[in-house]
Amino acid sequence: VTGASFVVFNGALKTSSGFLAKSSIIEDGLMVQITPETMEGLRQALREKKDFKITCGKTDTGDVKEYVDICWVENEEKTNE
């Protein structure tokens, strides 16, 4: 689990790169590089307020250990007011 001040979703990852998606920590945030198809799925999930899971790692290995989960929650903590 990684806490971040911000998240950047970059939808320019090419399918030919050999990755499903890539995530990296930048400064105090997270950048997630995804394919245009995944970006469209993410946009749709955000519009519909549905959870969305992005699997990160190489496409040719079954040893995927990293996920980026976007989850809608019931209770919002009143932080950073």
Please, are residues 32 and 9 in contact by the beta-carbon 8 Å criterion? yes
Would you say residue 75 lies in a domain?
Answer: no
CATH number of the domain that residue 22 is part of? 3.30.1360.220
Residue 81 resides in a domain: no
Residue 62 lies in a domain: yes
Residue type, 32: V
Query: What total number of domains does the chain contain?
Result: 1
Structure confidence at residue 75 as a pLDDT band (50, 70, 90): confident
* Predicted confidence band of residue 27 (pLDDT cuts 50, 70, 90): confident
Q: Which domain holds residue 46?
A: 6-70
Average per-residue pLDDT for the chain: 87
For residues 11-21, average pLDDT: 92
Q: Tell me, yes or no, whether 77 lies in a domain.
A: no
Residue 4 has pLDDT above 90, yes or no: no
78, part of any domain: no
Instruction: Please say if the pLDDT value at position 78 is more than 90.
Output: no
Is 43 contained in some domain?
Answer: yes
Q: What percent of the residues of the chain are helix, what percent strand, and what percent coil, each to the nearest 5?
A: 20, 35, 45
